[in-house]
């Protein structure tokens, strides 16, 4: 039985009555900054065939830069300087599914196993379906960039400790935000943590 809310892994195709051939669905999700935890920025998704604008949404505001969106399972997630909130939008029509108010942030969230992880005044774990907060950890903040989520762990940081120029890198449980380990480093992080 097919569920209209779940995309199939493949479709079948037949040309001129020949036997059906399965064609795998392209993986077009973009679940974190630059598509994956090694930040290579590649997707097999084809480019649009026209320049037609399907919908628009306010993605910039008073903060200093545009925050890249991520796309997972037909939902666009982005942090907007306009009102400082994390938004979930229907990728087909731009309708707002939910929003979560937050403080300043300038890095995209990361998606893993039905949860969103993003940094602002803390690192947050949000239910991707409902927009409800699961946990928050105040040790890390937006100075450490986009969190890296792998194998039920979240790598994040607090990169600004003026005037000392120190960085603290944390490894947290993705389930409850508990600190698994932390490490103090000299210098600051200028971008996102990679896996």
Percent pLDDT > 90 in the chain is: 23
Q: Are 107 and 145 in contact (CB under 8 A)?
A: yes
What are phi and psi for residue 144, nearest 5 degrees? Answer: -90, 0
Is residue 132 pLDDT above 80, yes or no? Answer: yes
Name the region of 34 (left: φ>0; alpha: ψ -120 to 50; beta: rest).
left
Name the nearest CA neighbour of 96 among 116, 119, 75.
75
Residue 178: pLDDT band with limits 50, 70, 90: very high
CA 136, 138, 140, 146 dihedral sign is: positive
Q: What is the per-residue pLDDT for 172?
A: 93
3-state secondary structure 30-81: ECCCCCCCCCCCCCCCCCCCCCCCCCCCCCCCCCCCCCCCEEECCEEEEEEC
Give me the pLDDT at residue 170, please. Answer: 87
Inform me whether the pLDDT recorded for 193 exceeds 70.
no
Q: What is the mean pLDDT of the chain?
A: 78
- Half-sphere exposure in the Cβ direction for 53 (13 Å, CA): 3
Domains, the chain, ordered by start: 29-39+57-186 (2.40.128.630)
Q: In Å, how far are 9, 27, 74, 159 from 71, measured between CA atoms? A: 17, 11, 7, 27
The whole-angstrom separation of Cα 145 and Cα 137 is: 15
Return the residue matching tokens 């449980």: 173
pLDDT band for 82, please (50, 70, 90 cuts). Answer: low
For residue 30, name the pLDDT band (cuts at 50, 70, 90).
low
Mean pLDDT is highest, among 1-10, 24-33, 137-146, 186-195, for 137-146
Give 1's pLDDT tier (boundaries 50, 70, 90): very low
pTM for the whole structure: 0.78
Mean pLDDT of 146-154: 89
User: Is 136 within 8 Å of 177 (Cβ atoms)?
Assistant: yes
Let me know: does 102 contact 145? Beta carbons within 8 Å. Answer: no
pLDDT over threshold 90, residue 44: no
Q: What CA–CA distance (Å, rounded) separates 43 from 34?
A: 10
**Cα–Cα dist 153/170, whole Å:** 10
Q: Residue 26 pLDDT more than 80?
A: no
Q: Which of 80-89, 116-125, 140-149 has the highest mean pLDDT?
A: 116-125
| pLDDT value for 161 | 64
Q: Mean per-residue pLDDT for 145-154?
A: 88
């Amino acid at each position: 039985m097919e569920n209209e809310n779940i995309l199939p892994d493949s479709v079948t195709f037949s040309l001129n009555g020949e036997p059906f051939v399965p064609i795998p669905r392209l993986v077009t999700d973009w679940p974190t900054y630059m598509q994956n935890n090694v930040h290579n920025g590649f997707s097999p998704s084809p480019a649009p065939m026209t320049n037609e604008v399907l919908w628009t949404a306010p993605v910039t505001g008073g903060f200093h830069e545009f925050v890249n969106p991520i796309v997972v399972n037909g939902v666009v997630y982005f942090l907007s300087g306009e009102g400082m909130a994390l938004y979930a939008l229907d990728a087909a029509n731009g309708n707002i599914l939910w929003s979560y108010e937050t403080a300043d942030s300038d890095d995209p969230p990361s998606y893993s196993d039905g949860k969103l992880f993003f940094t602002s005044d803390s690192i947050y774990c949000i239910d991707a379906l409902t927009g409800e907060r699961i946990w928050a950890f105040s040790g890390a903040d937006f100075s450490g960039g986009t969190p890296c989520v792998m194998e039920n762990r979240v790598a994040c940081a607090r990169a600004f400790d003026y005037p000392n120029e120190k960085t603290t890198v944390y490894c947290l449980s993705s389930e409850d935000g508990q600190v698994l380990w932390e490490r103090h480093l000299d210098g600051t992080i200028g971008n996102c943590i990679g896996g």
